[in-house]
A and B are shown apart, each in its own frame.
Chain A
């Protein structure tokens, strides 16, 4: 993989993680209330906007990334997002990492590594 491809891949993971966590922070705020008030509360705070901007940027980064690698390779490498978001959720929101989750995380990471190391195919 070329440095540009690696950079786009890392950018994609970062933007996806930031976006997901920002939406989680926006949606999970218990002070937000219900209905229209909830949306107003969220719109007045940065989280939902950080999420939207991240997703728009990610959308473009992902298209650029896919135009440089094989699609099959691209979606396989993109699976790392699942892992990074789970680990970030563990750190920021104290979500549980059960043994089964850790096994899943290790397997997905191993699979991505196989594809990445063999890369360029």
Chain B
């Protein structure tokens, strides 16, 4: 069962990471962003946005499978840990700098998410999802 959780949550974070990386690629291809139809056409004119959609669907089914067994608190925390994986992949793929404010900010945010996860475990019965079980875009959406 431990192995089930480990792989399940790893897959979930991977899907979340793929979604965010694809959004970034889609946005870059459609650059500059404009409030018009032409920009939307550019966004959907490149394959990246569809990778995001596939990642999102995969994410949804993984999440639903995990929630059948996993308590909501830890599950909630793991879905937001993508901030760390996305940061590492961004450093690698987009050569984004791992600055101190980012590393400290990410550490503080993760500490906060862990608190919220424990709070969630205590405050709800297992079958009762919290208001923000899953962000719209895997973020907080966000994420």
B5 at the interface (CB under 8 A from A): no
Closest to B27 in A: A67
Which of the segments A12-20, A30-38, A42-50 contacts the partner chain?
Answer: A12-20
Closest to A51 in B: B136
Of the candidates A63, A75, A112, the one having the most CB atoms from chain B within 10 angstroms of its own CB is A75
A76 to B142, Cβ gap below 8 A? no
A94 to B98, CA, bound (A): 39
Closest to A70 in B: B96
Distance to closest chain B CB from A118 (angstroms): 3
A106 to B112, Cβ gap below 8 A? yes
State which residues 53-92 of A face B: CB under 8 Å.
55, 58-60, 62-68, 70-76, 78-82, 85-86, 89
B40 at the interface (CB under 8 A from A): yes
- Give chain B residues whose Cβ lies under 8 Å from the Cβ of A70: 90, 94, 96
- Count the B residues whose beta carbon is within 8 Å of the partner chain — how many? 58
B26 to A63, Cβ gap below 8 A? yes
B136 to A16, Cβ gap below 8 A? yes
Shortest Cβ-Cβ A-B pairs, 7 listed: A67-B27, A107-B112, A118-B101, A104-B115, A111-B108, A111-B109, A64-B33
Distance to closest chain A CB from B109 (angstroms): 3
Closest to B26 in A: A63
Evaluate whether A72 and B137 lie within 8 angstroms (CB atoms) in the complex, with A104-B113, A111-B108 already known. Answer: no
Interface of A is mostly: helix
20 contacts between A and B (CB under 8 A): A16-B136, A21-B131, A55-B136, A63-B23, A63-B26, A67-B27, A68-B27, A71-B24, A71-B90, A79-B83, A79-B109, A81-B141, A82-B80, A95-B131, A100-B115, A103-B112, A104-B113, A108-B108, A114-B105, A115-B102
CB-based A-B contact count at 8 angstroms: 199
Mask of B65-89 contacts with A, CB within 8 angstroms, 1/0: 0000000000000001011001100
State which residues 127-143 of B face A: CB under 8 Å.
130-132, 135-137, 139-143
- Give chain A residues whose Cβ lies under 8 Å from the Cβ of B54: none
B135 to A75, Cβ gap below 8 A? no
- Give chain B residues whose Cβ lies under 8 Å from the Cβ of A79: 80, 83, 109, 113, 139-140, 143
State which residues 1-59 of B face A: CB under 8 Å.
20-21, 23-24, 26-28, 30-33, 39-40, 43, 49
